[in-house]
Structure 1
């Protein structure tokens, strides 16, 4: 079901979704009041929801929906500064995904970005709503799937090879659908002695800054949207900015991040595979790789490289995942040493930090 006060947007989104034979638009509504009347007649598997609408705003409707009958909801909004903040509130209320609605150029959206909304709807449909409590977000890029080497051919030349032993450890985390809530639970349980962390959460451009700022306010550790050259240090988590890749490079025994513009990898930018592969090359056995909830296989190959380079690796278990996709693919490749429920991941990270090198 589509809920948006713009008739043009409803028409365009309906045409976008109709491109996929597995998706049926059963109804549309101009505001939440009309939407609830139609939903009582036939309940949808996924709702695509605007935020600012007459009679009832989208966030109020979302909260009402989650209390009555939890249903996967994708927020479709513009990327203004205010919109980013509003959409973060929607994630906290229980939305499982977000796609960018252009301020103009709906024809271009229909022709060029159909894959984004289609993949977001499919990801939402597979979400385990029992696990969706707050801050779930996914952003899938429809661009053709590329490997890390194709997207960033000079990766091998970045930084130097890993040191065999160093006291400077790091933790690399990859996640997608359901990951914002999962990251909040993990990061809020860590202390400032925790090894520095580098994180890829599939999220659109401009939203990662608001997400990092929110986490920084509620977590004991420092959480930042990564900037080129930021150092990976104890008690700090760097989140890859939406729309750009993040790599780790080494200078002496210290680690820094490099933010690069390059094509999407596995249809994602930032990509977990890009991050994990750089960690495998620059940190090797001095790193811990963590794969959490998410749709697809981004990061599986990179985690296998980390594993083969001597890094410790762990994955979130199926029962605690909103979508058991990315961890499952890593396990299938033999890239995972340990499988844990979400509640135990922070303890594992801290235990890793206490190990002697």
Structure 2
């Protein structure tokens, strides 16, 4: 059965291009287009689409106002079509906060060539959105299997090693990875963490420009100091470092402690920045001094390297299916045995505070699991 899509954009050129791209996939059918929110409202009633693509900037009623009304009166999966500008990034992050599943960037200039170049991404995001249960916290997706080349590209950025790190005296380090739904999930974690947390490094699948706006937004909302990571930047307690769009973030070590390394290496698991790259670097650099968290996201980026972190002695957490927008990445981590604990999103901050405190630094013996569950009030699932 085809996924029924309604395309909403004030540009006839963009409407036609999106329709042409989407109609090429046999699993998708564009049932209609609309030039503004008022036309869209009537077509939603008449055509009953499964997914909307929604322009941010439209006449009569802007995309954010329309989305806000839609999620209140008739919630359904929405993919935002945003311009690659600072304003577009801020508005798109607001749309994700209001309930949009994901976004694609509307490039400047040559719409035809640029949109065609990301046609695979657009199609995949429509398919992901169609599997979302907008009325529940949990949303499901199955992703296409990766090719052998895609599975191996992490080695091109940071080679694997069997050496187990964990030098005495190294400070604790928290690494977080996320994709679809991750901007809000990361926010929900960071705003609950105190200023005396260890350093935090984050990879969120996000394009250039948007990562800057995302880091700035997190800095406004969280009590921690949040940065878009820079090459050579020292990684300090009480600070958060977010991978810039289109660059991998790695953690390295010098005589002062941890510092940020940025890489322009190849895409890993179709992504740059890649969670697998970050997690492997943390496994090799911090070892048992680290804690890894994998949050909502499509695909399986981060799952293999979270397992490497666990094998190096790190504590590891995966977000549970019910609270994930897409249980792809955390689900893959659970399947591979990479997750020591599987937790709902709202229990992750308290668990991290406990694990990174002096009481939680040592892995519990089996007899103390019940006491740990009571202490965190998180009812974690240890694996």
How many Å apart are 1:147 and its aligned residue?
Answer: 4.2
Tell me which of 168, 182, 185 is aligned to 2:185.
182
- Determine helix, strand or coil for the equivalent of 1:315: strand
Please tell me whether residue 284 in structure 1 is matched to residue 287 in structure 2. yes
Tell me which of 51, 54, 73 is aligned to 2:56.
51
Retained in 1: the 8 A contact 2:290–2:315?
yes
Tell me which of 98, 107, 113 is aligned to 1:102.
107
Which deviates further from its counterpart, 91-100 or 3-12?
A: 91-100
Retained in 1: the 8 A contact 2:77–2:101?
yes
Runs (4 or more) in structure 1 with deviation over 6 Å come to none
Q: Which structure's CA Rg is the greater one?
A: 2
For residues 222 and 127 of structure 1, what CA distance do their matches in structure 2 show?
A: 33
Counterparts of residues 5-16 of structure 1 (less than 5 Å): 5-16=10-21
Please tell me whether residue 263 in structure 1 is matched to residue 280 in structure 2. no
Judging changes above 3 Å, is the alpha-carbon distance between structure 1 residues 342 and 288 closer, same or farther for their aligned structure 2 residues? same
Please tell me whether residue 31 in structure 1 is matched to residue 11 in structure 2. no
For residues 307 and 108 of structure 1, what CA distance do their matches in structure 2 show?
A: 43
How many Å apart are 1:123 and its aligned residue?
Answer: 2.1
Give unpaired runs (5+ residues) of structure 2: 1-5, 363-383
Tell me which of 321, 333, 348 is aligned to 2:324.
321
* Equivalent residue number for residue 254 of structure 2: 251
Tell me which of 211, 231, 239 is aligned to 1:236.
239
Please tell me whether residue 350 in structure 1 is matched to residue 353 in structure 2. yes
* Equivalent residue number for residue 370 of structure 2: none
Q: Deviations for 1:249-278, whole angstroms, at most 9, x for unmatched residues?
A: 111461111111122111111111111111
- Determine helix, strand or coil for the equivalent of 1:199: strand
How many Å apart are 1:232 and its aligned residue?
Answer: 2.0
Figure out how many residues of one structure are paired with residues of the other and give that number: 348
Judging changes above 3 Å, is the alpha-carbon distance between structure 1 residues 94 and 132 closer, same or farther for their aligned structure 2 residues? farther
Q: Deviations for 1:174-207, whole angstroms, at most 9, x for unmatched residues?
A: 1111111111111001011111111111111111
How many Å apart are 1:128 and its aligned residue?
Answer: 3.5
How many Å apart are 1:154 and its aligned residue?
Answer: 5.4
* Equivalent residue number for residue 84 of structure 1: 89
For residues 245 and 205 of structure 2, what CA distance do their matches in structure 1 show?
A: 7
How many Å apart are 1:132 and its aligned residue?
Answer: 6.5
For residues 72 and 309 of structure 2, what CA distance do their matches in structure 1 show?
A: 42
Give unpaired runs (5+ residues) of structure 1: 134-139
